[in-house]
Amino acid sequence: MFNKVVIANRGEIAVRIIRACRELGIRAVAVYSEADREALHVRLADEAYAIGPASATNSYLRADTIVEVARMCDAEAIHPGYGFLSERAHFARACAEAGIVFVGPPAEAIELMGSKIASKRLAVAQDVPVVPGYDGADQDAATLAVEAERIGYPLLIKASAGGGGKGMRVVNAAAEFGAALEGAQREALTAFGDDAVLLEKLIVRPRHVEIQIMADAHGNVVYLGERECSIQRRHQKIVEESPSVALTPELRARMGQAAVRVARAVGYHNAGTVEFMLDAAGQFYFLEMNTRLQVEHPVTEGVTGLDLVQLQLAVAAGQPLPFAQADVTLRGHAIEVRVYAEDPVTMLPSIGQVALFTPPEGPGVRNDVGVASGDDVGVNYDPLLAKLIVTAPTRQAAIGRLQRALADYAVLGVTTNLPLLQAIMTHPAFSAGDTTTDFLQTYAVAEALQAPAEVPSLVLYGAALSDLLAPAAHADPWAHLWRARGAKQLLRYQVGETEYVVEAAERGAQMWQLAVGEHAADVRVVAWRDQNLTLGVDDTHVRLSVVRGADSIMVARNGHSYRLQRTQPLSIDAVGGGQVVGGQSNLQAPMPGTIVKVLVQAGSAVVANQPLLVMEAMKMEHTIVAPYAGVVTAVHFSAGQLVPGGATVIELDKHTEAVRPSD
């Protein structure tokens, strides 16, 4: 086994690999960019080395720098994790040339399976079914348009060189094809350095089912069951589970054997995942092979009892697999959800400081985390904060356990997708196993969260009491409480455009009468320790997480977070968005990023929902569209420019009649 391993990654996967190394007695070496100098994986590693500025291109994607770190610290191996350099064949070759073990498959396997076109042809040669489509070398736009007509709509445009939803577009009609192709090629070139695409017939309402394989250098290849990853946003998985409700033992065996044939054909070593699409009739189709550890690997660990990272390290060190296919048994049920710093409705990334990060605990609950309270979430990397995994004897028990765990999750300072995950877990269709890839769209799960909801009274009570008790918070919490018993104090908070007024009066030791509108209650302060506030309301204990700022209070309860802005003692007018004045609309960048393409100019007449510009942030393209028909009065940025989040990029006058879109 190795003595020292460099981890060429960041975030939760770097932390996960550090944990596996420690359990095996291996010294873990972290690398970090300037933005990650104080990151959790850096703090946990045995050694850590700076590798460049915040940009991933100049840090985590610098193969030469990372190999040099391994040489300098006398590491025998480099574990790439997932993303970044994990599926770059040139990195695996650079490791081999330097005499350093790459914890992953051979470079040739990465290269072959990294091409969706080549891997699809290999699958066909192994009698593995594939989706009808086009994977030819002729990438001329006219040729692709002709092939699209042959395949028929709807279809998918997919980047040949990578996955993760980047370089992928759904095209429903021929009129959409040209613009979709251009966007997919541009995004693929940015993400993978290769703008080649393939076309595939879009299978209606399929399931996304993948098979985990593990192979050693001694000719042993096994499959470790499946993971269903059908629930996705922007073609990226957010919920994964095993086993799939759609697989019989016979179908599982056929898919597993197909995955093993693909792995053997490419001379595969180490952990890999063969992804399939499964239609309603039970027919499966090869999609691609991911030549690395998957984000969702804990799901397989939960039902097999294996540690896949430890197996990766052992296989990379030349050890044979310690079990055969007949020894692999699936027990119970596991579900994983990905906790992202992003808006649960728009699914746009959220950045800022994580003021509080408290994952849940309990039997059958596992947290793979990449951040801690006080860490920063920036614009340079994927917004994944953590993964929450539960295991239980049955699927329904696992769902119930996950529902409770999500309710106990507390994150403040950045917006998260926790409300979306809760909505999925409580949806009857999920409980019934109706989990196709269009789940979020079919059931409008995110849209249901858009309805403006009032801030719960219990959250307002917690905010008010944290303000009332604040002078004593850093000393004896009961020594100097406000003692004007019977007198009422008004505390005002602004959330969005709504102002809330809390009436508070002390009724006795640790007891308050609080009222918000028509809702009133006698509230007892049970405990306030660190940032955890426990209230007694109607003989029920209510737990809240509270972080106080200079002008606002953040409160987390039941997996939801709230930011309450303090206002003046006298009522003030509700604060509006300030975006539409006299018919003039200022369209703003939803996050920091780079302008990729400006599609209009000052004076352009536009129609509602017409694309105005394309920007890139966190490796994904985002299109800003016209909210209504009008005339563009100003364009403030050009292609290639960096734009801060919230900056006005286009001004649009809706009073001027627009009869046609601009050319």
Active site residues: 292
Both tokens of 14, joined, read: 């770097």
- Are 439 and 230 in contact, with CB atoms under 8 Å apart? yes
DSSP class per residue in 589-651: -SSSEEEEEE---TT-EE-TT-EEEEEEETTEEEEEE-SSSEEEEEE---TT-EE-TT-EEEE
Alpha carbon distance 454, 440 (integer Å): 24
**What 3-state DSSP class applies to 258?**
helix
- Are 561 and 416 in contact, with CB atoms under 8 Å apart? yes
Both tokens of 417, joined, read: 């997708």
CA distances 78 to 59, 71, 113, 242, 318, Å, are 15, 10, 21, 29, 14
Burial of 239 (0-12, 13-18, 19+ CB in 10 A): buried
Q: Which residues in 297-316 are b (16+ Cβ under 10 Å) and which e? A: bbbbbbbbebbbbbbbbbbb
Helices (H), 126-220: 141-151, 174-192
Question: β-pairing, 27-33 with 47-52?
Answer: parallel
Q: Which residues pair with 389 in a beta bridge?
A: 336, 366
Place of tokens 């445009």: 157
Residues 6+ apart with CB under 8 A from 450: 345
**What 3-state DSSP class applies to 19?**
helix
What angle do the packed helices 107-114 and 116-125 form, to 10 degrees?
Answer: 100
Q: Which residues pair with 653 in a beta bridge?
A: 584, 631
Q: Which residues in 419-441 are b (16+ Cβ under 10 Å) and which e? A: bbbbbbbebeebeeebbbbebbe
Alpha carbon distance 595, 616 (integer Å): 6
- Are 208 and 181 in contact, with CB atoms under 8 Å apart? no
Q: What share of the chain is helix, strand, coil (3-state, %, to 5)?
A: 25, 35, 40
Question: β-pairing, 27-33 with 4-7?
Answer: parallel
Nearest to 222 by CA among 295, 311, 333: 311
- Are 148 and 199 in contact, with CB atoms under 8 Å apart? yes
**What 3-state DSSP class applies to 32?**
strand
DSSP class per residue in 441-480: HHTTHHHHT-S--PPPHHHHHHHHHHHHHGGGTTS-TTTS
Burial of 411 (0-12, 13-18, 19+ CB in 10 A): buried
